[in-house]
Structure 1
Amino acid sequence: MPAEPLLLAAMRIDKWLWAARFYRTRALAAQAVAAGRVRLAGNAVKAAHILRCGDELEVNLGDLRWTICVIALAQQRRSASEARQLYHESLASSERRTAQEAARRLVPEPARELGGRPTKKAGRLIRNFTDRE
């Protein structure tokens, strides 16, 4: 007979961020919380802060900002589809993220036109320029 999953009432915020797949490791989640990139109800917290269902989190990942509500707690890290069931993202947050992602796709990458390694001629020009005294 398989054991039923343990229902949690509370857990550490860094462990939940790892289980919800916002960060690859728990150490990265703890660093993000310590750096102030994760806020609980608008306030900076420590990695050991206790998280409960219904708490509002603001998570900054690079230039993307997620505003989420914690729905469930998970002791273990599961698949991405199961991790999405641990939280609910606000509509405004979702619209803001999709707009940022669309704007990022429109702007070309800074070094996109550079085609890899320099040619022999370009290499000679670079060496001549840098070897001057």
Structure 2
Amino acid sequence: MDKWLWAARFFKTRALAVKACELGRVESGGVRAKAAREVKAGDMLHIRNEGGDFIVEVLELSEVRGPSAAAQKLYRETDESKDMRARAAEQRKQMAMAMAVTDGRPTKKDRREINKLRGRIHRFGE
């Protein structure tokens, strides 16, 4: 399993692939897959890594890491998986826009508005 995940370029190193298997981030047929598990053509794998959640069908086997184009021929990603990852990317993009960072420190006016929102209204002379 770990060799195939590495050859298909889901993980940069075999050590990372082994660790993902140990942490339960790789499932084969709905069951946690161990790193030493044999992979067969036709297996359905659910893989969670920093790139997102992938649901793939194994098309070919390989123990050699080749170029990206060759690695993509080893599996077929389901349409459901592609849609899930696209939705997750869109949500991340919206969150980044919502949490837009302003340049520099807040102005005096900005601080007053922040304090008002937090319920800390301080007025001198009252």
TM-score w.r.t. the length of structure 1 is: 0.71
Identity level (%): 34
What's 1:36 paired with? 24
Per-residue deviation, 1:44: 0.6
What is the distance in 2 between the residues matched to 1:107 and 1:70?
A: 34
Q: Among residues 23, 26, 29, which one is paired with 2:14 in the alignment?
A: 26
Cα offset, 1:63, TM superposition: 7.5
Counterpart mapping for 1:33-112 below 5 A: 33-62=21-50, 64-108=52-96
Deviations 1:16-50, CA, capped at 9 Å, x for gaps: 00000000000000000010000000001210011
TM-score (ref. length: structure 2): 0.75
Q: CA deviation at 1:91?
A: 0.8
Q: Secondary structure at the match of 1:107?
A: helix
| Structure 1 residue 14 displacement after superposition | 0.4
Deviation at 1:75, TM superposition (A): 2.1
* Moved beyond 6 Å, runs of 4+: none
Q: Distance in 1 between matches of 2:102 and 2:65?
A: 40
Structure 1's unaligned 5+ residue stretches are: 1-12, 119-133
Separation in structure 1 between the aligned mates of residue 50 and residue 97 of structure 2, nearest angstrom: 16
Count of aligned residue pairs for this structure pair = 105
Q: Based on CA coordinates, which of the two structures has the bigger radius of gyration?
A: 2
1:16–1:63 Cα change, 3 Å: closer
Give the C-alpha shift of residue 80 in structure 1: 1.3
CA distance in 1, matches of 2:11, 2:102: 32
